[in-house]
A and B are shown apart, each in its own frame.
Chain A
Amino acid sequence: MVRVDENITVAVDKTGDPIGFLWRNGSYLVADKPVRWFARREWWVEAARVQRGIGAGILEVEMWRLMAIEASAKCKNQYELLHFTIDNTWRLVRVYS
């Protein structure tokens, strides 16, 4: 397992499931149905404000675990993606080989 922490661009289908992403000039295609869950953030370490109504985005992030194939390579790897719903940005956090 390799820890990564890089912004990536992700393409999603109409239900919001990721179908592919671009990372370090590579293009990856999602192979199986990805697994989604919600993880938490330690807002007391990071946040500047937590007033009423600020929204759960400060506490919660969407996580995706998926199998993907890089276009030029042949082997499938497992990847973990983090999705900030507040600004719809994605980060790649882990790669399992």
Chain B
Amino acid sequence: MSSFTHLHVASAYSGHFGVTRPEILAQAAAAAGDSALAITDRDGLYGAVKHIGACLKLGIDPIVGADLAVTDESGSALGRCVVLAHGQDGGLGWTALCAIVSSAHASGKKKDGISITLPRLAELAVRDGVALVTVLVGPNSDFGKATLIADRNIAANKLLKWRKALQATGSLGVEIVSHITEPGTDFCNQQALRMLQLADSMGVPAVLTNAVRYLQPDDAITADILDAARHLEPLGMFQAQPNAQAWLKTSEQMSRLAHEITQDGDRAKQLLNSTQSLADRCRLNPENDCDWGNPKTPEKSTLGIEGNPFEVLWQRANAGIEWRYPNAKEKLLIDVRHRLSQELITINRLGFATYFLTVADVAQMIRDMRIRTAARGSGAGSLTNYLLGISGVDPIEHDLLFERFLSVERTSLPDIDIDVESARRHDIYRAIFKRYGSNRVTLLSMQSTYRGRGAMRDSGLALGLDDDQIDQIAKNMWRFSARSFRNAIAVKPELAQLAEAIEEDRKMNLLVDITERLDRLPRHISMHPCGVILGDASLLNLTPVEPSGLGLPMSQFDKDDMDPMGMLKLDVLGVRMQSAMAYAVREIERVRGQSIDLDAIARDDPQTFKDIRSTNTLGIFQIESPGQRELTGKHQPTEFNDLTIQISLFRPGPMKGNMIAPYLDGRHGFRVPEYIHRDLEPILKETFGVVIFHEHVLRILNTMTGCGLAKADEFRRNLEDPRLSATVQTFFRQKATERGYSADVVQKVWEVLESFGSFGFCKAHGAAFALPTYQSAWLKTHYPTEFMAGLFTHDPGMYPRRLLLSEARRLGVRILPIDVNHSSDEYLVQNAPRRTTDPTEPNVGVRMALTEVQGISASEVQRIKDNQPYQDVADFYLRAKPSRRTLERLALVGALDEIAGLNEHTRGDILVRVRELNAVVKRPTIDPNQPMLDFTVVERMPTGNQDFTPADKVRRELEILRMDVSQHVLEEYREMLDEMGVIRSSELVSLRGKTEVLVAGVRVATQTPPMRSGKRVVFVTLDDGHGCSDSTFFDEAQQRCSNILFNNKLLVIAGKTRRTGVKGVSLMAENAWDLKELWAIWQQQKAQQRNSQKIA
């Protein structure tokens, strides 16, 4: 029995169509003894690289194609075809396939799906009379559909059209498919036979496929759901797939199918043979056909380099020494030169000089654009990167290792990630395209996959459940994978209602099952948030591209495809904090005339560290989360390295590895640091004997075995893999013993390495992050007004904006309300006269931006800005031409107070006036030559209308700005809260442990961090205008308040204080209530009291 090769297979990367991941399909084919397998995803090569990688690993030949829609010259649909690249032709087939896919995306309109015209397809499919690809027309083509119609000639003519376009030998084939459907319908045996007969009569080769969508019949149910998601309609509302036959059938089954279709043993054999011939022609040799694994960088000329790139790199790096170490002592310089030589030797041996020059070139270009940059990741461990200006952290000062970043043991292109101002990221992309040419650059794509809520929503849609019902359930899906949905229902208290519904409602039961089926399937392709691919002039021959949302071309490959394809990916990541800091620096310069170089400020400012230690870290990079705030309270950092350590500690690994407590105990002197052996003391002194950093592991391995740091990094990576860690252990024990370490020491160190090694964190990454952390803290300490303006304008961080406002109030930064005469589209720092005689009141403040007004359009904002200042409300109405809705909203939030003259008029008066103007049917236009005669628009403010109460004001602000500006939202409830004895969060720090208290506030964060015990713990952070309180809900408390735990915004929480450090206090929650519910009850009681008093 000869083996069959599937030539038409959609993987899960055929969005909303295919079900099975390429790796699984390849495994199944290899296991069944097939010698090759094709992947033909819809509209592109989305799964191709993964497919090739899997095939190489399994020792079968990869075949790659795409399933594309085709039209004629005039745009009329000709159905779909499969285009298969020919292999072993030096990449001509692969390049043609890429060009065909790119061309389809470039011309097709996204709305009706992408497609390519037949003439264009034919043009790209053949070169010099030689076919580079084979186009297969099957049951989904116009020809295939026509064979279902009785008139044979119609179908014959359709095939003739394809034949005429694709005349070269091997450029066209007919794809015979039968899913054994009802006779006379698509994909039935009779259609297949008819197509075969027509192909024979016209001399077009025919091949057999199964138009595969999934691995096994069971997956057809998942395919149904994907169809619903693609149609955006519930099952039953569209024509569903005919049955469950589109699976990866075995060779034997395909052979039987050939006989069933042809009813003729010889013809069946011939069909199977021609299928194998085409398969043979399409077997790819990835190295020769796709330039697999061969690193590609821009040509020297594009980088402006002449001569040997390594010599250029050597010169540039050495020139950087003068810049980075201007007044260094000779001893340091010797270290620097020595280390640089070592790094450069490695870089040269790997042949990566051009790569480093490319990244340096991009970094220099970004600096020339005057955009803030910082490095991230292990790249900060490289002195070369520091000297070339790619990274801003001195690896020698911070004890960072190059070998963690790059070594001869590790031949893949390293990742160098550059953080930039988020607001300028797209400018940088465009500049990169311009600098290197659009044939050498594309954006990187990413496949988002179905996760929890998304899977649930699309499952609900497929079943036709109503939106509210889906929303309700989705809201309570919290931190668990959809794959374990049914399991979660049994144990999570907030899903108790759903558990009941499942008992009674069949559809709910189905919902759970299909949500689990969708989990982790690719969902849609989008632009990667930061990746740019840089290559040489052949880049677009190797990857298909499609337009991105940004207008720039985007590769169909994702980040995991880069290394196998030898493609250089540069991560240019937009970081909002960098934008916020750049903005603050510009405001400082604009308002105060001071110019500040954030990268040059001293990194040991005592006041900055004092402010950090107060735990009021809101708005500071990396350490503002509730957990980091708590850790700050315990840790009390005093120097830059402490920030590096703290950032690195607060990661899932170190938390799971229980590294935090021993480190803190050592630091605060509760425990004598244990170094196991004196040789390890210098390595672990900074962390009091606790292994936190990858760099620690490298140094320990190197010190005790003498293996060298490069080898040590390989060992470190092997430690993460239980299968490989055994060999590391053998090596470590043997070498360490040889070098004279006692059995006891070897045993103890191994235990540490084994349990802690894989949890650690790269110190270089921590140090790279600590830099913006320190810089933002410094700005917050010394220029809080400008810093807050930057935060508001660029909105970094994790909290709702109203919390920033609360923090500004707490800091004493004046918030100037929205005002049509003073506000713009950004938060500007403005002078503002003191409202009191208090000389400590600042006379500058942050002016809120017009953009906060809900529903205001960009053009309205622009008009308001352009026509400032305004005389009065009517003037504003006439010249700024706001919409009725915007005008009223501006009045409601007080933006017209100043021009209306609030001293004489109430907010009520202004509102009456605005409504009067809004009642005018047609806004009069201003003619400078005519006196204004229209009496409605001549200003005459009404008087005597009631002013807004403070509570009214806040209500309107929350409605329109989603922020409580004039006072904290909790103030409205203050009387009740005081009566209840609810304390302010700023008072918590002065309380003893285990004090029973009540706190209240607006929920600003809910987190369920990973716990060592595996039990879920819920952290809720409330803001009450006096700071934040953090409450921890353990199992029992979660049960008690399951219905409000994740839902309600305003909460009252009862609990016991738990002291965690000098400045650290959190609450062990016992119960929680909905504040509004309490308020309603309280008001009722008050009313009753008043009534009974009256009666008495």
Decide if B181 touches A37 in the complex (CB within 8 Å). Answer: yes
Decide if B182 touches A37 in the complex (CB within 8 Å). Answer: yes
Contact with A along B483-521 (1 / 0, CB 8 A): 000100000000000000000001101100110110000
Chain A residue with Cβ nearest B507: A44
Tier of interface size on chain B = 20 to 34
Contact with B along A30-49 (1 / 0, CB 8 A): 00000111111011110111
Is B137 located at the chain interface by the 8 A CB criterion? no
Chain B residue with Cβ nearest A36: B180
Decide if B506 touches A48 in the complex (CB within 8 Å). Answer: yes
Chain B residue with Cβ nearest A44: B235
Residues of B within 8 A of A70 (CB): none
Decide if B243 touches A39 in the complex (CB within 8 Å). Answer: yes
Contact with B along A53-64 (1 / 0, CB 8 A): 111101110010
Given the complex of chains A and B, what is the CA–CA distance between A51 and B241 in angstroms? 19
Given the complex of chains A and B, what is the CA–CA distance between A18 and B52 in angstroms? 45
Taking the nearest CB of chain A, how far is it from the CB of B239, in angstroms? 11
Decide if B510 touches A40 in the complex (CB within 8 Å). Answer: no
Residues of A within 8 A of B244 (CB): 38, 40, 56, 59-60
Most buried by B among A42, A47, A52, A63: A52
Decide if A38 touches B181 in the complex (CB within 8 Å). Answer: yes
Given the complex of chains A and B, what is the CA–CA distance between A56 and B398 in angstroms? 60
Decide if A37 touches B510 in the complex (CB within 8 Å). Answer: no
Residues of B within 8 A of A76 (CB): none
Decide if A51 touches B516 in the complex (CB within 8 Å). Answer: yes
Is A8 located at the chain interface by the 8 A CB criterion? no
Is A22 located at the chain interface by the 8 A CB criterion? no
Residues of A within 8 A of B221 (CB): 43, 50, 54, 56, 58-59
Residues of A within 8 A of B839 (CB): none
Is B188 located at the chain interface by the 8 A CB criterion? yes
Is B645 located at the chain interface by the 8 A CB criterion? no
Known: A44-B463, A58-B221, A59-B244. A50 touches B236 (CB 8 A): no
Most buried by A among B188, B235, B241, B244: B244
Decide if A42 touches B220 in the complex (CB within 8 Å). Answer: no
Is B916 located at the chain interface by the 8 A CB criterion? no
Residues of B within 8 A of A47 (CB): 510
Residues of B within 8 A of A56 (CB): 217-218, 220-221, 244
Contact of B242 among A40, A43, A44, A52 (CB under 8 A): A40
Within 8 A of A (CB), among B162-205: 179-183, 188-189
Known: A37-B182, A39-B182, A56-B218. A45 touches B245 (CB 8 A): no
Taking the nearest CB of chain B, how far is it from the CB of A53, in angstroms? 6
Decide if B510 touches A52 in the complex (CB within 8 Å). Answer: no
Known: A35-B183, A38-B245. A52 touches B516 (CB 8 A): yes
Contact of B218 among A38, A45, A55, A63 (CB under 8 A): A55
Given the complex of chains A and B, what is the CA–CA distance between A35 and B507 in angstroms? 35
Is A91 located at the chain interface by the 8 A CB criterion? no
Given the complex of chains A and B, what is the CA–CA distance between A54 and B179 in angstroms? 21
Decide if B243 touches A40 in the complex (CB within 8 Å). Answer: yes
Contact with A along B796-836 (1 / 0, CB 8 A): 00000000000000000000000000000000000000000
Known: A44-B463, A44-B510, A52-B516. A37 touches B220 (CB 8 A): no
Is B224 located at the chain interface by the 8 A CB criterion? yes
Decide if B180 touches A37 in the complex (CB within 8 Å). Answer: yes
Decide if A63 touches B182 in the complex (CB within 8 Å). Answer: yes
Contact of A50 among B183, B188, B243, B513 (CB under 8 A): B513
Contact of A42 among B189, B236, B507 (CB under 8 A): B236
Is A94 located at the chain interface by the 8 A CB criterion? no
Main secondary structure of the interface of A (DSSP, over half): mixed
Given the complex of chains A and B, what is the CA–CA distance between A65 and B240 in angstroms? 22
Decide if B513 touches A51 in the complex (CB within 8 Å). Answer: yes
Decide if B224 touches A59 in the complex (CB within 8 Å). Answer: yes
Residues of A within 8 A of B517 (CB): 50-52
Main secondary structure of the interface of B (DSSP, over half): helix
Given the complex of chains A and B, what is the CA–CA distance between A47 and B506 in angstroms? 8
Decide if A60 touches B514 in the complex (CB within 8 Å). Answer: no
Decide if A50 touches B510 in the complex (CB within 8 Å). Answer: yes
Tier of interface size on chain A = 20 to 34
Chain B residue with Cβ nearest A60: B244
Given the complex of chains A and B, what is the CA–CA distance between A42 and B237 in angstroms? 11
Known: A56-B217, A59-B243. A42 touches B235 (CB 8 A): yes
Given the complex of chains A and B, what is the CA–CA distance between A55 and B513 in angstroms? 13
Residues of B within 8 A of A38 (CB): 179-181, 242-245
Given the complex of chains A and B, what is the CA–CA distance between A59 and B514 in angstroms? 14
Chain B residue with Cβ nearest A54: B218
Most buried by B among A45, A56, A58: A56
Given the complex of chains A and B, what is the CA–CA distance between A17 and B660 in angstroms? 70
Known: A42-B236, A59-B244. A37 touches B218 (CB 8 A): no
Residues of A within 8 A of B218 (CB): 52-56
Within 8 A of B (CB), among A54-86: 54-56, 58-60, 63, 65
Given the complex of chains A and B, what is the CA–CA distance between A38 and B486 in angstroms? 32
Decide if A49 touches B510 in the complex (CB within 8 Å). Answer: yes
Taking the nearest CB of chain A, how far is it from the CB of B177, in angstroms? 14
Given the complex of chains A and B, what is the CA–CA distance between A49 and B512 in angstroms? 9
Taking the nearest CB of chain A, how far is it from the CB of B489, in angstroms? 13
Given the complex of chains A and B, what is the CA–CA distance between A54 and B180 in angstroms? 22
Decide if B245 touches A44 in the complex (CB within 8 Å). Answer: no
Given the complex of chains A and B, what is the CA–CA distance between A63 and B510 in angstroms? 26
Residues of B within 8 A of A53 (CB): 218
Given the complex of chains A and B, what is the CA–CA distance between A55 and B216 in angstroms? 9
Decide if B514 touches A50 in the complex (CB within 8 Å). Answer: yes
Given the complex of chains A and B, what is the CA–CA distance between A8 and B283 in angstroms? 51
Given the complex of chains A and B, what is the CA–CA distance between A58 and B221 in angstroms? 8
Residues of B within 8 A of A44 (CB): 224, 235-236, 462-463, 507, 510
Residues of B within 8 A of A37 (CB): 180-183, 188-189, 243
Contact of B220 among A51, A60, A65 (CB under 8 A): A60
Decide if A40 touches B240 in the complex (CB within 8 Å). Answer: yes
Residues of A within 8 A of B513 (CB): 49-52
Given the complex of chains A and B, what is the CA–CA distance between A38 and B257 in angstroms? 14
Given the complex of chains A and B, what is the CA–CA distance between A65 and B867 in angstroms? 80
Within 8 A of A (CB), among B266-288: none
Contact of A39 among B220, B235, B242, B509 (CB under 8 A): B242
Given the complex of chains A and B, what is the CA–CA distance between A17 and B189 in angstroms? 17
Given the complex of chains A and B, what is the CA–CA distance between A14 and B1096 in angstroms? 97
Contact with A along B847-858 (1 / 0, CB 8 A): 000000000000
Decide if B235 touches A65 in the complex (CB within 8 Å). Answer: no
Residues of B within 8 A of A52 (CB): 218, 513, 516-517
Taking the nearest CB of chain B, how far is it from the CB of A93, in angstroms? 13
Residues of A within 8 A of B463 (CB): 44
Residues of A within 8 A of B241 (CB): 40
Chain A residue with Cβ nearest B506: A48
Most buried by B among A45, A48, A60, A63: A60
Given the complex of chains A and B, what is the CA–CA distance between A49 and B236 in angstroms? 17
Residues of B within 8 A of A48 (CB): 506, 509-510
Given the complex of chains A and B, what is the CA–CA distance between A55 and B121 in angstroms? 40
Given the complex of chains A and B, what is the CA–CA distance between A38 and B244 in angstroms? 8
Chain A residue with Cβ nearest B463: A44
Residues of B within 8 A of A50 (CB): 221, 510, 513-514, 517
Given the complex of chains A and B, what is the CA–CA distance between A48 and B509 in angstroms? 7
Given the complex of chains A and B, what is the CA–CA distance between A50 and B510 in angstroms? 6
Given the complex of chains A and B, what is the CA–CA distance between A52 and B216 in angstroms? 11
Taking the nearest CB of chain B, how far is it from the CB of A13, in angstroms? 16
**Given A39-B242, A44-B463, 7 additional A-B pairs, CB 8 A:** A37-B188, A40-B244, A44-B236, A44-B462, A44-B507, A49-B513, A50-B510
Q: Pull 14 A–B residue pairs with CB atoms less than 8 Å apart, ordered by A.
A: A37-B180, A37-B181, A37-B183, A37-B188, A38-B243, A39-B181, A42-B240, A43-B221, A44-B463, A47-B510, A50-B514, A52-B513, A56-B221, A60-B220
Nearest 4 CB-CB pairings of A with B: A56-B217, A56-B244, A38-B243, A60-B244
Give B contacts to A, CB under 8 Å. Answer: 179-183, 188-189, 217-218, 220-221, 224, 235-236, 240-245, 462-463, 486, 506-507, 509-510, 513-514, 516-517
